[in-house]
Amino acid sequence: MRENFTRHVSCISLGDMANCYLCGTRFRSADFQLRRKVRTGGSEHVKFGRDRAVSARTSYGFRIVCGRCGRKIDEAKRQELLIENWKLIMWVLLLLALAAARWSNLASMTGN
């Protein structure tokens, strides 16, 4: 009976508090709430056939998430940024390699 009562009370007191948008954790205090840009929806359309096309539409919005999910989002964003940087570095290296190959071709041609 007592347990039922406390559960009932906690339900009421937390009734108007938000849940984490990602994991659904009910916030115990405002301190745990974070605002992060999260994926709120999106659709991916893949058309196969003669004109194969992929169209993706993703919508993002600021939602309240718990500390754990906020950290996860931050970490994912950091890694995404790292990957983007790596892609850029690889592109630069590729261009340099192409330029070097071209230059050595020219050099060998003019040498002969």
- The residues of the shown chain that bind Zn ion, judged by CB under 5 A, are 20, 22-23, 25, 66, 69
**52 DSSP β-pair partners:** none
Cβ proximity of 12 and 26 under 8 Å: no
Distance in Å, CB of 11 to Zn ion, minimum = 20
CB 40 within 8 Å of CB 61: yes
Neighbouring C-beta atoms of residue 87, cutoff 10 Å: 10
Please state the closest distance from residue 50 (CB atom) to Zn ion, in A: 44
8 or 25: CB nearest Zn ion: 25
Cβ 34 to Zn ion shortest distance, Å: 9
| Terminal CA-CA length for the chain | 98
Residues contacting 62, CB < 8 A, separation 6+: 35, 36, 37, 38
Q: Which is nearer to Zn ion, 71 or 87 (CB)?
A: 71
* Residue number, 24 or 111, with CB nearest to Zn ion: 24
* Nearest residue (CB) to Zn ion, 23 versus 83: 23
Minimum distance from residue 7 beta carbon to Zn ion (Å): 22
